[in-house]
Amino acid sequence: MEKPNIKKNDQIELNIEDLSYEGKGVAKVDDFTLFVDNALPGEVVKATILKVAKSYGFAKATEIIKKSPHRVETIDNVYTRTGIAPLSHLEYSEQLKFKQKQVEIDFKKAKLDIKVNPTLGMENPLHYRNKAQVPVRQVDGKLTTGFYRRHSHELVPMENYLIQDPEIDAEIVSVRDILRKYNVRGFDEVNFKGQIRTIMVRRAYYTGEMMVVLVSRVRDISHYKEISAEIMKNKDVKSVYLNINSKKTNVIMGNEMILLAGSPYIDDKLLGHTYRISPRSFYQVNPVQTQNLYQLAIDKAELNGSEKVVDAYSGIGTISLSLAENVKHVTGIEVIEDAVKDAQQNADINKIENADFIVGKTEAVLNDWAKDNRKMDVLMVDPPRKGLANSLIDSIKNLKPRKMVYISCNPATLARDLALLSDTYNIGEANPVDMFPMTNHIECVISLNLK
């Protein structure tokens, strides 16, 4: 393919033909592909070229010449300029179709002939997130909270984050003001100076309890007793932590976690059970859709009460405990030790006696099970984006659970894994569930039956 004669900062008119999996408009210049920020299929835009690589490039729309009927214009474009809500300019019903189609594309690429059902969406697709991690910087001499401009680490100051629980947004402003009052400085990434890098806030949807974690570059923050006492003046805040991250890294949290005030955890409820959540534990960010997702996964498992179930990648045990009453026994497997402790506590709190939890990598634990010829009837997997390890797929083929339910947050690795399992399993229909409205993230659940 020949590279067209375009270079950075050129202005160019483009016809947008498609939407990429990242939610960018796709345009062609001859055979060359450009990914265009803030542009929707069917639109004609004036764009500025941001970058030209070997076989593709990036641009951003600066003027919409012909508008898509699906463009939402009531939304402040700060949300498409930053990475917080990159699909917020697209009508919600179209977002749901886009996600369904994306799963279909990934399945087709993997040569899988699987029906993909319409995406299960939300009635109110805004302000759903129960967790925020916002970057903190020094802007015009003041500690400031906001979100990164796309393709950069430049902070765009923000107080309303559109997709977060409004109580969390308010708490971030309140913590920001307390830190300002004590002259705490925001992080300076360029010179590696300043103190607070990130504020993390979690708010339990059903109990209203909040946890605040201040992530600091330096170990010593003067006044942190007073600061945490002031944060605790909001009666909903049950827990305040200081996390030390003194490394030059994009990883948000460091290893050291110091409880400054209140309880080490907060409690929430899901499908009638209570859950204890520690600062490091994974906990689903969309509480309304989590219940729908879990219910769908449990329905797809078609349980009759006699099964031995393994819940792999179990986090704080939410799936295990949601289905425990429908099975003989469930074993959760999870690599983060604190999450396993939470899961064990959660079983006790909910008086569930037929669940246990193992610390370890799923691939290692199930490899041992396969060697020992231990049996299970149903395997639930809910892996991170990279999907299942190859060795795990081998162990599954040895263990031969009668049924599998795969919950995936990445359709590309889901398709890859299903293709590998398709010689041993018949694959059911896929159900995308919109866990992350206004973003390009796609969650999907599917069942597999042993041939």
Active site residues: 409
- Interaction of residue 314 with ligand SAH, rule CB under 6 A: yes
Does residue 148 have a known ligand-binding role?
no
Name the token pair of 379. Answer: 């395997």
- Interaction of residue 313 with ligand SAH, rule CB under 6 A: yes
Binding residues for ligand SAH, rule CB under 6 A, total: 17
CB of 319 to ligand SAH, least distance (A): 5
- Interaction of residue 50 with ligand SAH, rule CB under 6 A: no
Name the token pair of 403. Answer: 């049924």
Name the token pair of 345. Answer: 């506590």
Length of the chain as a residue count: 451
Q: Which of 422, 415, 418, 445 is nearest to 433 (CA)?
A: 445
Instruction: Please give the Cα distance from 119 to 430 (Å, whole number).
Output: 9
- Interaction of residue 334 with ligand SAH, rule CB under 6 A: yes
Among 48, 81, 282, 399, binds ligand SAH (CB under 6 A): 282
Among 144, 318, 346, 408, binds ligand SAH (CB under 6 A): 318
Instruction: Please give the Cα distance from 82 to 10 (Å, whole number).
Output: 22
Does residue 344 have a known ligand-binding role?
no
Does residue 382 have a known ligand-binding role?
yes
- Interaction of residue 271 with ligand SAH, rule CB under 6 A: no
2, with CB counted inside 10 A (0-12, 13-18, 19+), is exposed
- Interaction of residue 269 with ligand SAH, rule CB under 6 A: no
- Return the H-helix or E-strand segment holding 276: strand 273-277
- Interaction of residue 107 with ligand SAH, rule CB under 6 A: no
For residues 411 to 450, the per-residue mask of contacts with ligand SAH, x marking binding by CB under 6 A and - elsewhere, is: ----------------------------------------
DSSP 204-244: -TTT--EEEEEEESSS--TTHHHHHHHHTTSTTEEEEEEEE
- Interaction of residue 405 with ligand SAH, rule CB under 6 A: no
Q: Which of 138, 44, 124 is nearest to 288 (CA)?
A: 124
- Interaction of residue 384 with ligand SAH, rule CB under 6 A: yes
- Interaction of residue 330 with ligand SAH, rule CB under 6 A: no
CB of 231 to ligand SAH, least distance (A): 27
- Interaction of residue 287 with ligand SAH, rule CB under 6 A: no
With CB under 6 A as the contact rule, which of the stretches 25-33, 331-339, 393-401, 426-434 interacts with ligand SAH?
331-339
Q: Which is nearer to ligand SAH, 75 or 335 (CB)?
A: 335
* C-alpha distances out from residue 269 to 12, 274, 353, Å: 52, 4, 19
Q: What is the dihedral of CA 185, 188, 189, 190, to 10 degrees?
A: -170
Strand partners, 212: 201, 240
Q: Which of 120, 122, 125, 123 is nearest to 429 (CA)?
A: 120
- Interaction of residue 322 with ligand SAH, rule CB under 6 A: no
CB of 334 to ligand SAH, least distance (A): 5
- Are residues 25 and 35 in contact, defined by beta-carbon separation less than 8 angstroms? yes
Name the token pair of 431. Answer: 């159900």
- Are residues 333 and 353 in contact, defined by beta-carbon separation less than 8 angstroms? no
Task: Please give the angle made by the CA atoms of 245, 247 and 253, to the nearest 5 degrees.
Answer: 35
Does residue 206 have a known ligand-binding role?
no
Q: Map tokens 């991170």 to a residue.
A: 384
- Are residues 301 and 403 in contact, defined by beta-carbon separation less than 8 angstroms? yes
Measured between alpha carbons, how far apart are the two ends of the chain, in Å? 45
Q: Which is nearer to ligand SAH, 240 or 333 (CB)?
A: 333
Q: Which is nearer to ligand SAH, 88 or 318 (CB)?
A: 318
CB of 406 to ligand SAH, least distance (A): 12
Among 362, 367, 408, 431, binds ligand SAH (CB under 6 A): 362
- Interaction of residue 279 with ligand SAH, rule CB under 6 A: no
CB of 209 to ligand SAH, least distance (A): 18
Residues making up the binding site for S-adenosyl-L-methionine: 284, 313, 334, 382
Residues making up the binding site: 284, 313, 334, 382
Binding site for ligand SAH (CB under 6 A): 282, 284, 313-315, 318-319, 333-336, 339, 361-363, 382, 384
